[in-house]
Structure 1
Amino acid sequence: MTENLNNPHRWLEMFLKSILSFIGVAILAIGAMLCKEGNVGLDPFTALNIGVSGKIHLSLGTYQLLTNVFIIIFVILLDRKKIGIGTIINMVFAGFMIDWFSAFYNTVFHYHLTFLTGIANGILGLLLFTLGTSLYMTANLGVAPYDALAPIASNRLHIKYKYCRMIQDIGFMIAALIMGGPIGLATIIISFFAGPLITFWDNHVSDNLVNTLVEFSKNPSSRKIGHGFDIAGKSTYNLVKHSYNHTVEIQEKLSHYSDQQLQQKEKQIRRTLKDARIVLKNSIIQYGMVKKEERRRERAENHESYEKK
């Protein structure tokens, strides 16, 4: 811990991760806003807050902040290790951002909500909600007060986490229904099936981004900034490209592959193998760097122990 505080690059890493956490919460809020405007439901906690805030004539941001302050008192008393900068960013800004983005959305877009526009808003909202959640969680700067309840209950009551979380989400969902909060299909997906989407964003975006920020914080330079933007641009392009190709592939399976398509599939597999080799090579390099840093810290600790003697 002392080494972390004395490390001159530790503060830069914390600053960059805090920015990433803030961006993640902003993207999460945009996703929640789209689900709300599409009338497809929201996560149980936000849905309950919208229902209650509407009945007592408070803005969502104000009411959600007050609710989070109430919850965080118990979290601090029971397990303060779960509290961090990311916790404060989430509890303070998420509700207000949903309010701000909703106001902006309704100012810019004027249309009658239909089934198709609701579905479009719901799909885009879920994608952004899970992407923002992935970025916010991967920054690893503390969890939202609501998300800290289930693991604390699991540790205190000796019940599996998934059961505690299920009871928590269902309880808040029922409360949201009673209070007239926006409960819908997206609520069910976010509560029980968001894991695979978040994992997808972790593997394709968040983990690489956080690793890049950590490496940059150790040796910051303008060249690395340019290189980071280049990687981000290529990653985004490849993600969109592969997603589209996968969609086309599913469509083609309905009518079976032709000989030409099989040849194209073979070429695609070869490219995938080539990309996998590159990823493996980079992973080996990163592993070597991690082990090198680990050995350096062990030597520093041994040297510090020797000086104390």
Structure 2
Amino acid sequence: MGRSRKESQDIKLHSGTRKRNDYIFLLAGNIIIGLGIAVFIKANLGVDPFTMFNMGLSNTLNISFSVIQWAVGLSILGVVFFIDRKKINIGTIVNMIMVAPAIEGGAWLLNNFTPQINTLIVSIIVAAIGFVIFSGGVGMYLAANLGIAPYDLIFVILAERTPMSLRVSRICSDGFCFFVGFLLGGPFGIGTVLCVFCVGPLIAFFTHKSEEYLNSH
């Protein structure tokens, strides 16, 4: 009887710790996503396709980037609400609100407190770092399982409702944003093209590693 009570207390304690870690991963992951994109922008080799799409739309409509990102996020949520509303959770709203200010704040810090990049090799290295940071942030908040970002809902639902894997569905959604962002005059470069094909596998890797960590703590 005493052992059963002790096991119950241990399970409850572990559950509470996991919940706390989930929220930490959710908040930290979204901040890291914004910082990763800011590093990407600093490299001046293009940005990720979704940011490229939003920046192109922002320039075309002459509306601030944050407002555009929030408006696009709300539009996606409106569609998802009718398709699979159960996927909309607190993490969905947190991502929609936090990432745009994190990008702008990170870009401001990098522009004011880091030297200018003058060589292609340094740009490539900085872009690669941005790649990894961004993918790690997405993996962290996905592993928290507290809701999916509006944009990420697209490729997750595609993977669930079609024969496509998570990696392939991410490539397809990024490819669409790249195409439309290009038409809108969004900033792009070799980094954007690589992002279409490399981010999906990196996100899958970091999601798996983050899940392993959360499940063991």
TM-score (ref. length: structure 2): 0.81
d(CA) in 2 for partners of 1:174 and 1:199? Answer: 23
Change beyond 3 A, Cα 1:202–1:168: closer
Q: 1:118 aligns with which of 103, 113, 123?
A: 123
Structural RMSD (CA): 2.5
Aligned residues with identical type, % of pairs: 30
Q: 1:211 aligns with which of 203, 210, 215?
A: 215
User: What aligned pairs does 1:289-304 form with structure 2 within 5 A after superposition?
Assistant: none
Residue 96 of structure 1: aligned partner: 101
Q: 1:172 aligns with which of 174, 177, 183?
A: 177
Shift of 1:93: 0.8
- The answer to whether the 8 A contact 2:31-2:102 is kept is yes
d(CA) in 1 for partners of 2:212 and 2:86? Answer: 25
Aligned residue pairs: how many? 204
User: What aligned pairs does 1:40-55 form with structure 2 within 5 A after superposition?
Assistant: 40-55=45-60
Bigger relative contact order, structure 1 or 2 (CA pairs below 8 A, ≥6 apart): 2
2:123 is paired with a residue of what secondary structure? Answer: helix
Residue 148 of structure 1: aligned partner: 153
Q: 1:56 aligns with which of 53, 61, 69?
A: 61
TM-score (ref. length: structure 1): 0.59
Residue 193 of structure 2: aligned partner: 188
Shift of 1:60: 1.9
Instruction: Specify every segment of 5 or more residues in structure 1 that has no aligned partner in the other structure, as ranges.
Output: 1-6, 214-309
Residue 161 of structure 1: aligned partner: 164
Shift of 1:148: 1.4
Whichever residue aligns with residue 207 of structure 1, its letter is E
Compare CA radii of gyration and give the structure with the larger one: 1
d(CA) in 2 for partners of 1:135 and 1:200? Answer: 10
d(CA) in 2 for partners of 1:151 and 1:111? Answer: 37
d(CA) in 1 for partners of 2:46 and 2:215? Answer: 34
d(CA) in 1 for partners of 2:78 and 2:24? Answer: 25
Shift of 1:173: 0.8
Change beyond 3 A, Cα 1:142–1:166: same
- The answer to whether the 8 A contact 2:52-2:181 is kept is yes
Q: 1:30 aligns with which of 29, 35, 46?
A: 35
2:185 is paired with a residue of what secondary structure? Answer: coil
- The answer to whether the 8 A contact 2:37-2:47 is kept is yes
Shift of 1:128: 0.7
Shift of 1:34: 0.9
Instruction: Specify every segment of 5 or more residues in structure 2 that has no aligned partner in the other structure, as ranges.
Output: 1-11
- The answer to whether the 8 A contact 1:26-1:97 is kept is yes
- The answer to whether the 8 A contact 1:36-1:182 is kept is no
- The answer to whether the 8 A contact 1:61-1:98 is kept is no
